[in-house]
Structure formats: structure tokens, C-alpha cells
Amino acid sequence: MINAELARIFDRIADLLEISGANPFRIQSHRRVSRTLKDLTDDVANLAEQGRLAKLPGVGKSSVEKIKEYLAVGKVPLLEELEAKLPAGLPDLLRIPGMGPKTIALAHHELGVGSIDDLKAAIESGRLAQLPGLGKKSVERIAGGIEFLAGSAGRTRLGVALPMAERLLEQVRKITGARVAQLAGSLRRGAETIGDVDILCEGDDGKAIIAQFVGFPQVSRVLAAGETKGSVTVITPDGNELQIDLRVVPARSFGAALQYFTGSKQHNVRLREIAVKRGLRLNEYGLFDGETVLAGEREEEIYVRLGLPCPPPELREDRGEFDPELARRKLLTLEDIRGDLHLHTLASDGRNTVEEMAVAARARGYKYIAITDHSRSSTITNGLTAEQLLEHLQAVREADRKVQGIEILAGTECDILSDGSLDYPDEVLAQCDFVVASIHLGMTKGKATPTERTLNAIANPWVTVIGHPTGRLINERAAMDIDIGKIIEAAAGNHTALELNASWSRLDLKDTHARQAIEAGVKLIIGTDAHSADSLGQMRYGVSTARRAGATCADVLNTRPVPAFKKWINKKRGL
């Protein structure tokens, strides 16, 4: 938790510096430290005791001092100084699309805006639209961004909730009297965000089990502690509260309860309707014919007795999961992934060398990876000029010769520019083994629309895959105004893959769009967008999302062996 709290502090400092108009290098240095701390597997306090803080990527002398200050007194004076200069709610405005630091500073100084409520008032009164550089469309976009943030409030992202839930689950399994315990709810279904965590436990003495559960050291508040249910909250790494509910049920009802509390609500309604049509009654205690129990101990029995396939949890959203064709599919698993095709290194804004990323990927059982450092227009991420990229490609190929047991493809993540052109000319892209084309800048305005820009990239013979196609950041930034139907149609017609970005802050394409792509015959590539070796583990979130889309191995290119994968790339290139 110390690592996560320090990462949050460095992010907060960066936000406040940005609003204050500080030097961009100073801002980014704090963000780099935050990313390093988020990815750190060792306890930062232990590293401080060993004198190893300065060896961490991006952690300079002043950052070391700030970390030591926090470890010594529980606070960072610089943060307190910055907070004292600005209203506490001002940094929250950075989360609103269209509200960059300059706009925030202008609204603050000219209109006295210090919070989202102040901003709403300025919009409603028409004063915001009168500021220099802000017109009707910009204000409408900001108002839409406020609505987006309100809609995501109270939801915790999958990549934040799941690791915390898994640690709690292991603790529950060690409680005396807890025979079986399993995650349920939207977390088990792999939803991109969750409201709270549901854990089911099989046991007889519910009161004793709940008493131990509510006493876990990470519990911040106890909401309820009854005979069969306990509810607590824990603090997430970003400082929010996450509710955890534990239900203790007897063995005879465990399967029925697991099915019921896994959901979704729509899936359960459909299932109950099917039961009623058969003259049966279904609830969290079991499947009944009158007073006779037909099923309850095992989840699968519920579906079998209703004459239905037992769909994987990820599909239980009332989206046709009882269709026989979908039921016959062997959904993608994490073990099916043979390579990670979106990785960054020290050459741009990553935190490990090419060799380190390759060794870490090999340890996960991968057969190949693609190194895809940023292109030149991504100055904030230390993007490479064309000359630097060509040198980098040679360095990647040299690493490929050195590291045995895994193939390293030399590629790039090439920006799609505001006019629809690519950041590198074709003769440079032709030197790459693999090209991800992505929009990073000008998501709301440019000479061409985001849809037009993406369509141009799809048509380029050297572009293998469109990276994070909608540009969304879950709970932070809405998707671009993009015609996903046209994008999918063009990808199918041009032999271009679409990425399912596995970073839990993106999960882009989202599940419904990924299903739409699969149905159109478009191939997906699941990449972690990892900026460190530790982040390779995010692949599981991409696989979970692909499963929600009904994806099989045949739908995902990086399940193929190297020769088959290269053959697919060469077809696009006309080779």
C-alpha cells in the first residue's frame, strides 16, 4: 500500500504543477516516478533501507528525498505547499475531456472556478463560453465530459479491484471453517469496472467466519457483520473506498448461490424465465420443483437441469449466451497467447531494456514479442525520430540474436497525425517487422476526424494493427467520436487487425466492439502496451475482455506460431 500511496502522491504533485504552469520536464519527471512506483514489485520502504531508491528508473535525487520524507513523517512537504496555493477541487478538473491545464488556469483566474460544481455553474451561466479560445462546441464537449465522469463515479476498474479481491480471497480461504471460497459478481464476469466485490464462502458457522473476515488488517470500515453476511470497505491504491461483501452459504446451496451472485442481473432474469416455463423455481438457494430440490450444490447442475449449456461467467450478460453455436465455442484462454505485440522500452518511455522485456516475456512462456516504441510526434513520451527509429530497429535485432528462446520483432507504435498521415514515411515503416498505428494527440479536433484518420491508417499497407482504436481511458476519458462500424468494415476489407489493448486503464477495444469485429471477420491482437516487465501481467485483462466478446484462438492473431503470424503480416504487405 505504501508504493500505491506514494504513486498517487507523485501523480497529484504532477497535476498541481501542471495547473500551476510549471516546467513540463518537472511535471513529467514526477509522472515517471509515479509509474515506476505503480509497477514496483518490491516494497519501497525496503529499497529505501537498502539504499537502492536511486537505482529505480526515473527516480532522481529530489524524488528520493521526497520518498524518504514520506517514509519518515507520512507526508511530502511539496505536495502540501502546492495544495495550499490552489483550491482542493481544481486538480479534479484535469479528468474532464477538454479541460487541459491552461483552460483550468484560465477558468480559475478569470471566473474563480475551483471545483467541478463551480465549472457547472460557469457553463450554465454562459460565462465559460466567453473565455478566450472557448466556443460553444468546446463548452458542449466539456459538459459532456462532466456527465461522463458522473456516470463512472463509484465504479472501480478491473485492474485495481481484481488484485485486491484475490488477496482477500486467499485470506478468506485460510479462515477456520471456510471450506470453499470463490469470487462472484461482475468481477468473476471480467467486467471492465465493478461496483463492489462479492465473495462466496461455503461453511457452517457463518457468524465465526464473518467475525474473522471483518477483522482483516486492510479493512478500513465495517459496514455489517451478521450471521451469514459481512460487508467492509478497503482503500484502493488511488485512495477510494471499495466495498467487499462476504456471504457464507451451506454446501447444499453453494452452486446456486455462486450462479445467482455471479449474475448478471439480465442473465439471471432470463434464466428464471426459462425455469418458470418449465414449471420450476430458481433462486440463490437452488432449483426447485415444488419443495423438491433438483440442483444447488454445483453451479453446472442448475443449467443441466434446465437443459442449457453452462456458459462461461464472462458471457453471462444476456447477449445470446444460450445460443448453441456460442456454447460450442472454446473460448480463448491466457495459456493460448504466444506473444505480446505492444511493448515499450527505455528507447522511448518504457522502464526496461529490450533484453529485459524479452527475458520477462520468455519467462511467461511467450514465443515472440514486438518492441513498439513511440514515434517522433509523441514528444511527451520521448518518441523517436525516423533516424533514431532505424538505429533502434538494429538494436532490437541485435537483442533478438542475443536472447535465445524467444523471437523479438522490431516494430513501432506510429502516431496517426491530425491530417490522417502517419508519423513516419512508408519507406521507414517498411523497415519494421510490425507496425501499430495509434491516435494519441488531437482526439477531438484536427484537419481530419478521428474516423478519417483511422481509415487512412488502415489502408496503409505497412500498418499491421490499429492500437487502442477508440482512445478511451476507463473512468478518465471518454472514447473519441469515432464510427466504429466504419472502422471495423475497413479493417475487414484491408486485412488490418484491431488491437484489444489489455492495459486495464484502456481495455480498448471494449467487449461489445470486439464482438462486433469478430462477427465481421476482423482479427484481433491483444497487447499489454507494457512500459515495464511487470506490466506484462496485464495480458489477463485483455484475455478476459476477449472472452466476454466470445473470442476463440482463431480470432486472435497472437495465438498463432511465429511463421503463421508473419505470413498474415506479409499478406497485408503484398509479400
Q: Is the pLDDT of residue 326 over 80?
A: yes
Of the residues 123, 152, 181, which one is the last residue of a structural domain?
152
Band the pLDDT of 137: cuts 50, 70, 90: confident
Of the residues 152, 176, 211, which one is the last residue of a structural domain?
152
Measured CA to CA, the distance from residue 157 to residue 125 in angstroms comes to: 34
Range of the domain at 49: 2-152
* Residue-averaged pLDDT of the chain: 92
286 and 254 assigned to the same domain? yes
pLDDT in tens, 16-66: 888 888 888 898 899 889 888 877 777 888 888 899 888 888 899 999 999
Name the nearest CA neighbour of 224 among 264, 204, 196, 252: 196
pLDDT in tens, 211-229: 999 999 999 999 999 999 9
Mean pLDDT value across residues 476-489: 92
Measured between alpha carbons, how far is residue 150 from residues 99, 107, 145, 155, 476 in Å? 15, 20, 9, 10, 11
Measured CA to CA, the distance from residue 47 to residue 71 in angstroms comes to: 11
When mean pLDDT is compared across 87-101, 182-196, 297-311, the lowest value belongs to: 87-101
Residue 177 in grid coordinates: 471453517
| pLDDT confidence of residue 152 | 62
- The identity of residue 449, as a single letter, is T
144 and 167 assigned to the same domain? no
322 and 339 assigned to the same domain? no
Mean pLDDT value across residues 453-461: 97
Domain with residue 144: its CATH number is: 1.10.150.110
354 and 306 assigned to the same domain? no
- The percentage of the chain sitting over the pLDDT mark of 90, rounded to a whole number, equals 71
Mean pLDDT value across residues 560-564: 96
| Residues 502, 529 contacting (CB under 8 angstroms) | yes
184 and 306 assigned to the same domain? yes
Q: Is the pLDDT of residue 73 over 80?
A: yes
DSSP 329-363: --B--GGG--EEEEE--TTTT-SS-HHHHHHHHHH
Mean pLDDT value across residues 153-174: 93
Q: Is the pLDDT of residue 2 over 80?
A: no
Q: Is the pLDDT of residue 245 over 90?
A: yes
Find the helix packing angle between 77-85 and 2-19, rounded to 10°. Answer: 40
| pLDDT confidence of residue 154 | 75
Q: Is the pLDDT of residue 262 over 60?
A: yes
Q: Is the pLDDT of residue 550 over 60?
A: yes
391 and 265 assigned to the same domain? no
Residue 323 in grid coordinates: 445460443
270 and 167 assigned to the same domain? yes
Rg (CA), the chain: 25
310 and 424 assigned to the same domain? no
Q: Is the pLDDT of residue 252 over 90?
A: yes
Segments in 20-115 forming alpha helices (H): 24-39, 44-49, 61-73, 77-85, 101-111
Measured CA to CA, the distance from residue 168 to residue 200 in angstroms comes to: 12
pLDDT in tens, 393-413: 999 999 999 999 999 999 999
Number of C-alpha atoms within 13 angstroms, CB side, residue 237? Answer: 24
Band the pLDDT of 1: cuts 50, 70, 90: low
109 and 196 assigned to the same domain? no
| Residues 406, 413 contacting (CB under 8 angstroms) | no
Name the one residue in this structure whose C-alpha cell is 520477462: 360
Structural domains counted in the chain: 3
Number of C-alpha atoms within 13 angstroms, CB side, residue 157? Answer: 16
Find the helix packing angle between 484-494 and 511-519, rounded to 10°. Answer: 40
318 and 284 assigned to the same domain? yes
Mean pLDDT value across residues 98-122: 88
| pLDDT confidence of residue 233 | 94
Of the residues 100, 127, 152, which one is the last residue of a structural domain?
152
Q: Which residues pair with 552 in a beta bridge?
A: 331
169 and 312 assigned to the same domain? yes
Record the pTM: 0.83
| pLDDT confidence of residue 551 | 97
Measured CA to CA, the distance from residue 352 to residue 465 in angstroms comes to: 24
| pLDDT confidence of residue 280 | 97
Mean pLDDT value across residues 159-180: 96
| pLDDT confidence of residue 153 | 67
192 and 232 assigned to the same domain? yes
Number of C-alpha atoms within 13 angstroms, CB side, residue 24? Answer: 6
